């Protein structure tokens, strides 16, 4: 059962910090900050230990790279243009030896290497005309939850709950879906940050019996169009490092590999490494 995550806003005398507490994935993430870096890093490390987190993530700014390295953080990935055009750097600290160990790293390196050398397909065959690509609404939440429940045994957010999907919609997340008759067969979403003008393409799922149609590419391209209409050019996606198909789709859509987050979240059936892919939609 998912322990609820929460966002805490700390407005202290000499710093401000937006902290995402994520007990299900045993991690704490600093999504935004300003002010005295030493003081706020001390605070977020205290928070990580108080909440028994195994991993701490800081979305660092370029001018703080040196400070974060000196403070013992490790750079794992980068999102170009994340903060209204300024790059974000994912710096991490680990609090348990198990969380820092990984048996799949070399295999995943090899997979990324083979993917970035794939030729981009010249022509994409369109899915059967009977599949309808539409923007999801609240009335689709029940069926969306069923799709996610069927595709993922474990997911880092409670997408198997229709109420949670409705909540994300009300907070601005946009879902596009493919339907075959009355059934949702594939879905993806864009989690939009209107303040910093970036979006994460996420929640990508297709029922196994429909995977040969390449539906995900069309869903992601449709989401990109939505982002461009809103003046958002920083688009990124964080894909399971062991999923050849999803990483290959992102590469073929023009996303660039920008690092890997080790043992980042519980997804599919275990704790997994996640590859970061980034695209500037303005180019």
Q: What is the pLDDT of residues 87-119, one digit of tens each?
A: 999 999 999 999 999 999 999 999 999 999 988
Whether residues 113 and 63 fall in one domain: no
Mean pLDDT across 42-55: 97
Torsion-angle region of 270 (φ positive above 0: left; ψ -120 to 50: alpha; else: beta) = beta
- What pLDDT score was predicted for residue 2? 66
Out of 45-49, 120-124, 170-174, 195-199, least confident range: 120-124
- What pLDDT score was predicted for residue 38? 97
Whether residues 65 and 119 fall in one domain: no
CA distances from 254 to 1, 16, 122, 131, 147 (A): 36, 35, 13, 25, 27
Q: Tokens in use for 37?
A: 């870096």
Whether residues 123 and 214 fall in one domain: yes
Whether residues 256 and 119 fall in one domain: yes
> Does residue 182 fall inside a structural domain?
yes
Whether residues 162 and 260 fall in one domain: yes
Whether residues 159 and 239 fall in one domain: yes
pLDDT averaged over every residue in the chain: 96
**121 pLDDT exceeds 80?**
no
Whether residues 224 and 156 fall in one domain: yes
> Does residue 175 fall inside a structural domain?
yes
Picking from 74, 100, 126, the residue at the C-terminal end of a domain is 100
Picking from 100, 120, 144, the residue at the C-terminal end of a domain is 100
Q: Tokens in use for 45?
A: 């490390």
> Does residue 1 fall inside a structural domain?
no
Expressed as residue numbers, the domain containing 49 is 6-100
Whether residues 145 and 233 fall in one domain: yes
**79 pLDDT exceeds 80?**
yes
C-alpha 273, offset from chain centre = 12
pTM greater than 0.85 (yes/no): yes
By CB neighbour count within 10 A (0-12 exposed, 13-18 middle, 19+ buried), where does 104 fall? middle
* 122 vs 155, more confident: 155
Mean pLDDT across 181-202: 97
Q: For the domain that residue 11 is a member of, what is the CATH number?
A: 3.40.630.30
Whether residues 185 and 242 fall in one domain: yes
- What pLDDT score was predicted for residue 58? 98
Whether residues 26 and 128 fall in one domain: no
Residue 279: band (very low, low, confident or very high) from pLDDT cuts 50, 70, 90: very high
- Give the integer Cα–Cα distance in Å for 45 and 220: 36
| 27-35/256-267 β-pairing | unpaired
Picking from 100, 121, 141, the residue at the C-terminal end of a domain is 100
Question: What three-state secondary structure class fits 181?
Answer: coil
Whether residues 91 and 206 fall in one domain: no
Cβ-contact 224, 189 below 8 angstroms: no
- Give the integer Cα–Cα distance in Å for 245 and 233: 24
Domain total of the chain: 2
- What pLDDT score was predicted for residue 133? 98
Whether residues 229 and 117 fall in one domain: yes
Q: Tokens in use for 90?
A: 């994912």
Q: What is the pLDDT of residues 216-261, one digit of tens each?
A: 999 999 999 999 999 999 999 999 999 999 999 999 999 999 999 9
> Does residue 74 fall inside a structural domain?
yes
**1 pLDDT exceeds 70?**
no
């Amino acid at each position: 059962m998912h322990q609820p995550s929460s966002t805490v806003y700390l407005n202290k005398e000499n710093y401000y910090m937006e902290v995402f507490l994520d007990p299900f994935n045993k991690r704490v993430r600093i999504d935004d900050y300003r002010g005295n870096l030493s003081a706020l890093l001390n605070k977020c490390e205290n928070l990580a230990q108080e909440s028994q987190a195994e991993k701490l993530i800081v979305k660092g700014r370029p001018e703080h790279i040196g400070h974060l390295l000196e403070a013992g953080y490790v750079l794992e990935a980068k999102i170009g243009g994340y903060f209204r055009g300024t790059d974000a750097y994912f710096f991490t600290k680990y609090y348990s030896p198990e969380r820092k160990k990984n048996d799949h790293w070399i295999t995943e390196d090899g997979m990324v290497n083979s993917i970035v050398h794939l030729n981009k397909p010249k022509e994409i065959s369109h899915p059967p005309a009977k599949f309808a690509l539409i923007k999801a609404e609240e009335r689709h939440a029940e069926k969306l939850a069923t799709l996610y429940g069927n595709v993922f045994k474990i997911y880092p957010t409670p997408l198997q709950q229709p109420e949670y999907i409705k909540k994300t919609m009300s907070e601005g997340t946009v879902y596009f879906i493919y339907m075959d008759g009355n059934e949702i067969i594939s879905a993806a979403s864009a989690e939009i940050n209107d303040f910093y003008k970036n979006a994460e393409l996420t929640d990508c799922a297709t029922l196994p019996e429909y995977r040969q149609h390449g539906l995900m590419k069309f869903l992601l391209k449709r989401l990109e169009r939505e982002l461009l209409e809103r003046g958002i050019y920083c688009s990124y996606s964080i894909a399971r490092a062991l999923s050849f198909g999803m990483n290959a789709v992102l590469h073929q859509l023009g996303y660039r590999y920008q690092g890997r987050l080790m043992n980042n979240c519980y997804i599919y059936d275990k704790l997994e490494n996640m590859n970061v892919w980034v695209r500037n939609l303005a180019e």
